[in-house]
Each structure stands twice: as structure tokens, then as C-alpha cells.
Amino acid sequence: MQPTSYLLITVYHCMALPWLSQSEKLYHSRDRSDMETSTLQQAELVTDLTSAQDFLAKYGWTEPVIWDSSSTSNDKHVRGLQMIQEGMSNSKEDFAEPTKSPTFIEALKKFQKLNNLTATGILDDATINAMNKPRCGVPDNQISKSNLGEETLQRTSTNETGASNNDTKSSNPPKVRKKRFLDLLMSSDKYKKDQEEQHGVGGKIFSKKLLKWRMLGEGYSSQLSINEQRYVFKLAFRMWSEIMPLDFEEDNTSPLYAVDIKLGFGTGRHLGCTRTFDGSGQEFAHAWFLGDIHFDDDEHFTAPNSDNGISLLKVAVHEIGHVLGLSHIYRPGSIMQPNYIPQESGFELDWSDRKAIQSLYGSCEGPFDTAFDWVHKERNQYGEMVVRYNSYFFRNGWYWMYENRNNRTRYGDPIPISTGWPGIPIQNINAFLHVWTWTRDATYFFKGIQYWRYDRDKDQAYAQDSQGQTYPRLISEGFPGIPSPIDTAFFDRRTQHVFFFRETQVYAFDINRNKVAPNFPKRIIDVFPAIVPNNHPRGHINAAYYSYMHSSLFLFKGKEFWKVVNDKDRRKNPSLPYNGLYPKRPISQQWFDICNVHTSLLKI
């Protein structure tokens, strides 16, 4: 459609409808500057004291910038907030000569220090270069408007009219009206409060566990295919989901207000946003806490593993970090550094990112269906046979490999059990068992009244093993005297007994005689006595996990584990009871970041 006729139709509608009470449905800027075909505008660089002063003010170095809610064209209140932000920014000391302003010099020193430059307070070339690096648009120092004094809000509430109280409460989009500075602040807070009630958003972090996201159709990238963009965003959400207890789901059907995080590309004035993009260079994206993410389409965004351009994945992961409540982290290796660091192959969220997000949302926790070390023999570089192991955790239909050396799960986990362990039940495994003697080496999975033997050479469950035994087989046939289903099991190499746990009892099964050992079953609490009275799982154990890393058996139940006293512990402290249980601890304090990922993200 030609712009002229488009305008005419708009005017016609304006005359025909009481349009002032209607929300603006267009996502484009009113002057349509964002619809012009882009002739790649260059961002203005920092070159002198004035532009450096602007830079320091814009990114919160002279004073924190209010940076709060998302803003789309429908959020009139939040638009008002931007006016506040600008008004406050203008109230800073306005020195004609920045070199004489103590505020400017202090801000410059701070900036230099955090960018590993000599804090001279003088604008030299190195400092100018640092300011001109590609960067995120979120200010380095920002405050939430909810941190502005309660007193201010109460004083202004008397200025608020009853009418405007009503219109923010109603589910209809708020009316366009001129408001004074503090009225806007008030109604923005009310707006946010309403949003919180509707969407479960509280304080600076999301209080709900499942967040919906959507790519804005009117804001697709002009440089990457829609499928490439979607893939990158799924991967970016997945990377956060792998290390924190939040799930993310792509939602292309719910009404827009029900979508928590909307992602879009734009140039200059874009997507009804209050903040303008600056052309090619400098700012590449920005995000609003608990809100939306905008990418500067004047930048050369590229797909993962591309050698040139700016990796959309890296930028998306960074901006999602902001949406979740993180500020910039000045630390090498962190994805939350404000500047874009060219992509090293296979970047991942590092330790500081994990700790930062987990300080807001907590760690991922149990329970697990089973956990085990998968032991395999292989020849080392000197041709000697060595035993290696990998640790696995199973929950429902998913499994994680745990890298003990790095104390985290393998990147990209979890994986469906059906993908990694073909032939065993695809979910809710009761137990894993590795029977390992001089004459026997076999691995089994248990579920319900049956068990499966796993062929480690072919990496699939046996239909029939070399002894002619077919699987799955009844537990009562393979392990006479053992009831089913079982809760968990482990093989004690010292006694050559399999311990089967069921409810509050434990059965020792003598694999050489193929029968239950004398005087069993016994109570778990009698065989594995508590060191501290009453600190004991008693029954319904989820997993009995023998860890080669720790040379110890651990009993898992719910979110907690009890470590079983081993021989080394007893040599150090002979008064400890045989198989005694140390007091319980959270599983998440010993094994980090074993996190669920939403199924919509698992199909990557």
C-alpha cells in the first residue's frame, strides 16, 4: 500500500470513530520513521568532551538512569515514564565546560577504572575508544522507579483524580491524556501493580516459573531468516533455563498482554519504544527489566558460529539476562559485560552469570528418579587399561550427564532418555544397578515389576543377552525373593550384595548364591543408622547413588541427600557407625545446575 493512501484511510477512520478513546493499534512510530527503508545510518561516535558527557549521562555514569518497565506503543503510562527519565537526566549539573565539572570527572574516572584504563579523569584516546565499542543500550547504572521513595508517591497521590484511578484499574487500555510529571510516576506504579496482579510479576524478578515469549512479526530481522531468528532465541532462552529454575515457552497464540517477553528488531525509532536506536555501530540492543527486548536492525547480526558480525545468540542471551533482572557485570567471561566481545567458539554462561541469576531465582533442586556412575574401561595413552566413569541423573523422561570436574551438567543437557538410552522405558525409571565382580559385569534398569539389561557395547538394551536370557524380565524371576516395584538399588562390592530398597525396608541380595541374604529384609534405619538422632530419610528413598568421585554412597530423597559413612571416614573417626548416615544436606549444594528445560525448547 502506498503511504499516501494509507494516511488517507487512517484519517478517514479517525473521523469516523471516537478514536481518542481507542488504543493505538499500530506498532510503528506515528511519523513512520521506522518504516523507511534503511540506508544504513551510522551511529554518532564519541569524539569530544560534549559527546563523552552525553555518553556518561546516557549510560548512568553521572547518575543512575531510571530503567524499568517495558514500553510498547500501548503502554502510555510507561511512555510517560520516559519523560520522567529525560526530565531527571536534564536536572544534572549543566557545566558549559565538562573538564571543570567534578561530576563529569568522577564519572569519567569510574568509567576508566571499570574498563581497565588508568583512572586519570582526562578524556584520552583510549577512553574514547572504550566508549565507542559496540555495547548494550541498558545503562550501566540504573535504578528501578520502585526504589524511588514511598513518601514521594504518597505525597503525589492527593493530586491523583478519581477518574484516572479508575482508568488504570480497568482492563481497557489506558486513555491518552496529558499528565503532570509526578502523576505519571504514580500511574506508572499503579499500572505496574495491576500488571503484577495479572501476570504474577513482583519486585525486580518474575515470581512465576513459566515465562512466555514471542517474536514480534512486525519486528523481524531483515538480515536473518525467521527460522534462524527463532532458533537463536530458543537457544538463548534454553541456555538460561539450563542453569535456573525458570522455564520459557514460545507462545504465538495468546493475546499480546499475556506474553511476558516480546522480542523484535527495529531501526531508529522502533516498535513504539521510548528509546531510539542510533544507527550502525555503538548500541546493538536493549532490554527492559521484566519486559521486552529490542535489537538494532542497523547492526550486522549473524547466526551462531559465523566468523563476522555480531552474534545474535550472544546478544540475545545478554538481553534475556536483563529481562530476568540482571544488571551489567564487569567481569571477564561474563555474558553480562556491557560491551560485545567477539565470539569465541561455543560460548556458555560462566560461573559469575550462574551465581548472579541464582542469587535472584535460587538453584535447581531435586528430586531425581535415579542417579548413577556409568563405569567403563578403556586404554589410556600408555596402553594401560583404566576405569573411567560418567555420572548421570534421571528425572521423568530426561537425563543429565554431570561433569564432576567442572561441577556442573554437560552443556546442552537434559536430553530425552529415549535418545540416550535406547530400549529402556522412556520415563520414570525406578533404579539403575551395576553388578561388578571378577566374573560378572552387567548393568540393569528397573521399572515396575520388570528390569532390563543394557548392552554397553552396542549402547542399547538387550533383547537377549549372551546367556540366552530375554528382556525385559520379571524382578521376581531374576532376583528371587525381591518384591517389586523397588525404590532404588545399589551393588556393594565389599559384601557382593545388591541392596534393594522398598518403602522402609532394605533387602540384601547375595548374587553368588542368587538369594536374599539371611535375616533380610531389615529396616533401612537399622542397616543405615542415623549419626544424628532423627536425621534420617526412614523410607521411600529416591536413589542410592554410589559416587566414584566421592568414593561414597549417597541416599537421595526429595531435595536432600544423606552421605553414608565410608571406610575412609571410619579410619579417621572410628566411633562412626558402619554405614551411618551423616545429617542431610540439599542436593543442590553438592551437585549444581541440574535444571529442567521446557519441552518447547527441547526440540532444538
Give the CA distances from residue 209 to residues 232, 291, 416, in Å, rounded to whole numbers and listed in that order.
Answer: 22, 15, 21
Segments in 177-251 forming alpha helices (H): 181-199, 226-241
**472 preceded by a cis bond (ω within 30 of 0):** yes
- In terms of DSSP bridges, do strands 210-215 and 261-266 run parallel, antiparallel, or are they unpaired? parallel
Please, what is the minimum distance in Å from the beta carbon of residue 554 to Ca ion? 13
Q: Does 489 belong to an annotated binding site? A: yes
Cell numbers of 109, please?
A: 574516572
* Of the candidate residues 81, 131, 138, 371, the single one contacting Zn ion (CB under 5 A): 138
Is 294 an interacting residue with respect to Zn ion (CB under 5 A)?
A: yes
**C-alpha span between 499 and 525 (Å, rounded):** 14
Q: Does 203 belong to an annotated binding site? A: no
**C-alpha span between 130 and 173 (Å, rounded):** 42
Please, what is the minimum distance in Å from the beta carbon of residue 234 to Zn ion? 21
CB 325 within 8 A of CB 360: yes
Q: Which stretch binds Zn ion (CB under 5 A): 81-89, 138-146, 148-156, 165-173?
A: 138-146
Is 273 an interacting residue with respect to Zn ion (CB under 5 A)?
A: yes
> Is the Cβ of residue 278 or residue 560 nearer to Ca ion in the bound state?
278
Please, what is the minimum distance in Å from the beta carbon of residue 330 to Ca ion? 21
- Please choose which of Ca ion, Zn ion, none residue 53 contacts, taking the beta carbon within 5 to 8 angstroms, the exact cut-off set by kind: none
Q: For residue 36, indicate whether it is catalytic.
A: no
Which residue pairs from 249-256 have beta carbons closer than 8 angstroms and sit at least 24 positions apart in sequence? 249/210, 249/211, 249/212, 249/213, 249/598, 249/600, 249/601, 250/212, 250/213, 250/214, 250/600, 250/601, 251/212, 251/213, 251/214, 252/214, 254/212, 256/72, 256/214
Please, what is the minimum distance in Å from the beta carbon of residue 432 to Ca ion? 9
Cell numbers of 82, please?
A: 520516559
Q: Does 75 belong to an annotated binding site? A: no
Give 3-state DSSP helix, strand, coil % of the chain, rounded to 5: 30, 25, 50
> Is the Cβ of residue 274 or residue 370 nearer to Zn ion in the bound state?
274
- Please choose which of Zn ion, Ca ion, none residue 283 contacts, taking the beta carbon within 5 to 8 angstroms, the exact cut-off set by kind: Ca ion
Is 136 an interacting residue with respect to Zn ion (CB under 5 A)?
A: yes
Is 261 an interacting residue with respect to Zn ion (CB under 5 A)?
A: no
- Please choose which of Ca ion, Zn ion, none residue 278 contacts, taking the beta carbon within 5 to 8 angstroms, the exact cut-off set by kind: Ca ion
Question: Angle at the Cα of 413 (from 412 to 418), degrees rounded to 5?
Answer: 120
**C-alpha span between 516 and 480 (Å, rounded):** 7
Q: Does 299 belong to an annotated binding site? A: yes
Q: Does 279 belong to an annotated binding site? A: yes
Catalytic pick from 86, 106, 151, 319? Answer: 319
**C-alpha span between 432 and 430 (Å, rounded):** 7
Q: Which stretch binds Zn ion (CB under 5 A): 163-171, 270-278, 394-402, 588-596?
A: 270-278
> Is the Cβ of residue 157 or residue 223 nearer to Ca ion in the bound state?
223
> Is the Cβ of residue 34 or residue 283 nearer to Ca ion in the bound state?
283
**Residue whose C-beta lies closest to Ca ion:** 296
Question: Which residues are annotated as part of the binding site for Ca(2+)?
Answer: 260, 278-279, 292, 296-297, 299, 489
Question: Which residues are annotated as part of the binding site for Zn(2+)?
Answer: 270, 286, 294, 318, 322, 328, 336
Q: Binding residues for Zn ion, per CB under 5 A?
A: 136, 138, 273, 275, 294
Residues involved in catalysis: 319
